[in-house]
């Protein structure tokens, strides 16, 4: 069963809202560890990724285990975590090269 346009727009609204909140949370979490922009970008990527993966995973299912929810969100957030640590490592290397 294909989702209706109304359901897709509601999902898009939630993705935007979650991205905005996670960008703020990521920036606050990064203060003192990495640049604030990196935390905001990572948060803005992680939360919608987790929400999108979860929404696709649970669609049209009657029974869902808690571990499935956690794993779906974790898998959706992995690319953003990899982005954060890769960029942070590049920034640290760049800072080490400066005289």
Q: What is the pLDDT of residues 59-72, one digit of tens each?
A: 888 888 999 989 99
Question: Coil, strand, or helix at residue 34?
Answer: coil
Residue of 71, 82, 7 lying closest to 45 (CA atoms): 82
Residue 99: per-residue pLDDT: 58
Given a cut of 70, is residue 2 above it in pLDDT? Answer: no
Place 57 in a pLDDT band, splitting at 50, 70 and 90. confident
Q: Would you state the pLDDT for residue 30? A: 87
C-alpha 84/C-alpha 14 separation (Å) is 23
Query: What does the pLDDT read at residue 31?
Result: 85
Q: pLDDT by residue (tens digit) across 20-53?
A: 999 999 999 988 888 999 999 999 999 988 888 8
Residue 64: what pLDDT? 87
Q: What is the pTM of this model?
A: 0.75
Query: Token match 């990196």: residue?
Result: 38
């Amino acid at each position: 069963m294909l989702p209706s346009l109304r359901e897709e727009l509601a999902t898009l609204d939630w993705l935007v809202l979650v991205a905005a909140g996670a960008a703020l949370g990521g920036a606050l979490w990064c203060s003192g560890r990495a640049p604030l922009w990196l935390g905001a970008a990572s948060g803005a990527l992680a939360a919608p990724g987790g929400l999108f993966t979860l929404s696709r995973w649970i669609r049209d299912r009657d029974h869902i285990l808690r571990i499935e929810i956690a794993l779906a969100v974790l898998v959706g957030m992995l690319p953003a975590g990899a982005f954060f640590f890769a960029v942070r490592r590049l920034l640290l290397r760049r800072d080490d090269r400066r005289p």
